[in-house]
């Protein structure tokens, strides 16, 4: 926490209703105290020097100027709570931030590197976007005005320098810190929001090197470099960040990007906001979805939990100590370059299938396949469940099955390629009064599609999780981590029975001790879709003609099922099936042309999740829509329209704690995992989590701590990563596969391999060693089109 000093005899005990408890610092503008509001909340109270505003009119102008800062959105800033005048001294009350300054951290711990520097850049520029959108200019952006809180960086003291500049009766008073001033300020010109971007660039150089870009020696030397020299940015080894900082340090303010443009670039979005010209007083606003972008920037920055608190013990400071938010002047250290995060792999775009329409004589009508597109089965053509969306909406009667993706099987987290359609199901509607949905099979970027032949839904047991680390040398730990003994991993139980699945060549090898169990599967015979559902607590599967997908909850008491057809009033419907009574509750999701894919239960079994798409018009490809969260108790659905342009290629999934909903966010070569809350607010973004891996079941392990992806730059290894923070992979599994079923337990995954003419789904450990066969397929064509999925049991 920031250093505290006791109050001095001359210090006031109160400023208006705020009780002062300690000193936080003192500088050229005044003294900052730790205070307490009437409600007991801790606040920072800045009491300015009386001589800065020597008459009542100047004080009134100052208070009016500073009060405008209260409208700044609370993204990566310390909120201004109150302002006024006490005993002829202006005061400002703001949110108290418990954390050291960037100045302190860099001076004490050294330069910021890698993803920490990237998150710092995102957080601080997010704050500037919020400040500029409120038509405020910081005018004193520098390392000592950036606090590193447990929830990410916070920018403080915005707007005060400009307010003093306009109202101070003192002549010759420099407003700003010399090393972070701009050419236009030194030339006596108006310093608008481009000046903040120049100071932001200087601050990023300091963060990466330990020194401001124009030195710390004499004022004449510093000012000469600011006006005439180009700084050395070679210590910033990330080319994108280095380029952005260089643009911000342009001598001409009109050539600098706005804060909005800088944030969009850092987040990997296309920049569309117009730039600010020199002398403007505010930054260009983001587009209409700016709150979402600000929330994303804040969420990314919040993943950094701050420096080691032990380095910043409470206690009074001396004048020789490093700079606080309220001190001026500090020593600097030389920098060490950091390793940049490598670029992400490219992902394929998606397309999904639109709803059915009906033609004459109550028959479904279908678009023709795109010219020149072939539909070829094959193992290499599978984008799997967690891959980009490739699922279709509703079946065209019993004669048609929803085409799911390249390779043809439905992908609950799967991928839907671009621009082509495939006619499926020409049979009549069983119910002429219902509007049936047309199925599209779509493909792009060299992927080819075939019909869905087999869909299998399985169940993973609650309580069968094991959070112990795998006994493997492949597990990657931090270089500074203290080695600890690795406990043994429980043995995988041998299968004690084989279940031949009706209507297929598949055989499931099971044990009652398995943490997973087959729950349902779907077989396509010709153009007829056949769904088989496992009867509770038996090995018997019965055919159901009502649904496309059927997913039991962890306890086995209920199931979520997607209906074949829209309701009579044209709504997408999910049915909640009570296994005890057989009762069915219909939940309306969204009106046509919106449709849903693959219901998933939350980890606690109380909610369902559905990925939503919107069918295109006139045979156009469908568009991403968002997701729906289904409350099983109330039998109601919350539909969230997700507007971020970089999501929608991949389906949504539950984070392990059940409090957030994740998906891949892809923009060109930039691939990240983003988490939303159930209302659609961005909570977290994992910047460095490998590249998307097609996973047919759950991407997050049973204990909710790890997510699996391909390791960066290869499909020969699978990496596991923390679900809560960026860092090195927790394990690298050497197993080449294009199809992963999901997690067996916390220490094993299930993936496919080929042995002779038989395809096997095998349980493997983190060393890539096969521990047991879980399922086999003896029909190559069927294997190429099949899909397997697991959900938890024993809840």
Active site residues: 140
**Measured distance CA(467)–CA(706) in Å, rounded:** 10
Tokens coding 659: 């409090």
Q: Strand 786-789 to strand 454-460: parallel, antiparallel, or no bridges (unpaired)? A: parallel
Let me know the angle formed at the C-alpha of 633 by 632 and 634, rounded to the nearest 5 degrees: 95
Backbone phi and psi for residue 103, each to the nearest 5 degrees, phi listed first? -55, -45
35 contacts 44 by C-beta, under 8 angstroms: yes
Output the CA–CA distances (angstroms, integers) from residue 86 to 15, 16, 17, 59, in the order listed: 7, 7, 11, 10
Query: Which residues have a Cβ under 8 Å from the Cβ of 4 and sit 6 or more positions away?
Result: 22, 23, 24, 34, 314, 315, 316
1 contacts 315 by C-beta, under 8 angstroms: no
Tokens coding 499: 């279940």
**Measured distance CA(680)–CA(652) in Å, rounded:** 12
**DSSP notation for 128-147:** HHHHHHTT---S--SGGGEE
**DSSP notation for 340-370:** PPPPPPP-------PPPEE-GGGBEE-PPPP
Helix (H, G, I), strand (E, B) or coil at 265: helix
Closest Cα partner for 389 from 366, 368, 367, 406?
406
Helices (H), 111-188: 114-133, 160-167, 183-186
H helix or E strand, kind and range, residue 103:
helix 102-109
If one counts every other C-beta atom within 10 angstroms of the C-beta of residue 559, the result is: 26
If one counts every other C-beta atom within 10 angstroms of the C-beta of residue 295, the result is: 21
Q: Which residues of 433-452 are buried (b: 16+ CB within 10 A; e: fewer)?
A: ebbbbbbbbbbbeebbbbbb
H helix or E strand, kind and range, residue 76:
none
CA distance from start to end of the chain: 43
**Measured distance CA(305)–CA(316) in Å, rounded:** 25
């Amino acid at each position: 926490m920031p250093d505290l000093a006791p109050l001095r005899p001359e210090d006031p005990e109160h400023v208006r209703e705020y009780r002062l408890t300690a000193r936080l610092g003192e500088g050229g503008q005044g003294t900052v105290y730790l205070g307490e509001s009437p409600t007991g909340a801790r606040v920072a109270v800045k009491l300015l020097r009386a001589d800065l505003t020597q008459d009542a009119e100047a004080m009134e102008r100052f208070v009016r100027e500073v009060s405008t800062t209260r409208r700044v959105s609370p993204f990566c800033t310390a909120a201004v709570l109150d302002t006024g005048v006490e005993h002829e001294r202006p005061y400002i009350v703001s949110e108290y931030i418990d954390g050291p300054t960037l100045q302190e951290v860099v001076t004490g711990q050294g330069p910021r590197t890698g993803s920490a520097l990237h998150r710092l850049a995102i957080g601080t520029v997010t704050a500037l976007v919020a400040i500029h959108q409120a038509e405020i200019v910081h005018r004193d952006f520098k390392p000592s005005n950036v606090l590193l809180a447990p929830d990410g960086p916070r920018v403080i003291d915005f707007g005060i320098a400009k307010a003093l500049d306009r109202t101070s009766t003192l002549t010759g008073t420099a407003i700003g810190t010399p090393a972070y001033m701009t050419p236009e300020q030194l030339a006596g010109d108006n310093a608008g929001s481009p000046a903040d971007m120049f100071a932001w660039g200087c601050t990023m150089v300091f963060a990466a090197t330990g020194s401001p870009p124009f030195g710390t020696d004499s004022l004449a030397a510093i000012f000469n470099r600011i006006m005439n020299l180009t700084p050395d940015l070679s210590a910033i080894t990330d080319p994108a960040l280095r380029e952005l900082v260089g643009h911000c340090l342009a001598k001409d303010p009109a050539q600098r990007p706005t804060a909005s443009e800088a944030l969009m670039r850092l987040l990997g979005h296309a920049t569309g906001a117009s730039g600010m010209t020199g002398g403007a007083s505010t930054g260009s606003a983001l587009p209409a979805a700016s709150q979402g972008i600000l929330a994303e920037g804040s969420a990314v920055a919040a993943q950094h939990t701050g420096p080691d608190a032990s380095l910043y013990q409470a206690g009074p400071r001396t004048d020789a100590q490093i700079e606080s938010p309220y001190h001026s002047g500090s020593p600097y250290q030389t920098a060490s370059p950091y390793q940049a995060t490598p670029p992400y792999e490219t992902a394929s775009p998606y397309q999904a299938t639109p709803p059915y329409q009906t033609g004459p004589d109550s028959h479904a009508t279908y678009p023709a396949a795109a010219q020149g597109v072939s539909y070829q089965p094959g193992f290499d053509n599978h984008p799997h469940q967690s891959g980009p969306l490739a699922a279709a909406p509703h079946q065209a009667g019993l004669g048609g099955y929803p085409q799911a993706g390249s390779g043809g099987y439905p992908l609950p987290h799967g991928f839907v390629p671009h621009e082509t359609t495939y006619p499926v199901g020409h049979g009549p509607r069983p119910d002429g009064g219902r509007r049936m949905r047309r199925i599209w099979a779509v493909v792009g970027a060299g992927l080819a599609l075939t019909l869905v032949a087999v869909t299998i839904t399985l169940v993973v047991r609650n309580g069968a999780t094991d959070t112990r680390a795998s006994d493997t040398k492949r597990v990657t730990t931090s270089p500074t981590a203290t080695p600890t003994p690795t406990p043994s991993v429980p043995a995988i139980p041998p299968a004690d029975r084989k279940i031949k699945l009706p209507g297929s060549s598949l055989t499931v090898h099971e044990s009652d001790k398995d943490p997973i169990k087959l729950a349902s599967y779907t077989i396509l015979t010709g153009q007829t879709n056949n769904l088989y559902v496992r009867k509770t607590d038996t090995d018997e599967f019965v055919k159901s003609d009502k649904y496309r997908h059927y997913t039991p909850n962890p306890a086995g008491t209920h199931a979520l099922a997607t209906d074949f057809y829209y309701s009579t009033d044209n709504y997408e419907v999910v049915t909640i099936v009570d296994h005890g009574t057989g009762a069915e509750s219909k939940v309306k999701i969204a009106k046509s042309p919106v449709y849903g894919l693959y219901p998933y239960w939350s980890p606690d079994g109380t909610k369902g999740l559905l990925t939503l798409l919107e069918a295109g018009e006139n045979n156009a490809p469908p568009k991403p829509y968002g997701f729906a969260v289904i409350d099983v108790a109330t039998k109601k659905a919350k539909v969230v329209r997700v507007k971020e342009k970089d999501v929608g290629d991949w389906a949504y999934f539950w984070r392990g704690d059940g409090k957030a909903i994740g998906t891949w966010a892809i923009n060109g070569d930039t691939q990240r995992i983003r988490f939303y809350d159930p209302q659609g607010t961005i909570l977290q973004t994992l910047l460095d989590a490998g590249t998307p891996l097609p996973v047919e079941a759950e991407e997050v392990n049973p204990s909710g701590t790890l997510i699996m992806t391909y390791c960066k730059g290869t499909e020969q290894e699978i990496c596991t990563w923390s679900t809560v923070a960026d860092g090195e992979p927790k394990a690298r599994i050497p197993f080449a596969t294009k199809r992963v079923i999901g997690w067996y337990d916390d220490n094993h995954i299930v993936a496919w391999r080929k042995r002779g003419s038989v395809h096997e789904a095998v349980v493997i450990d983190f060393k890539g060693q096969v521990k047991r066969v879980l399922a086999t397929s003896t029909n190559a064509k069927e294997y190429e089109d099949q899909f397997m999925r697991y959900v938890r049991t024993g809840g």
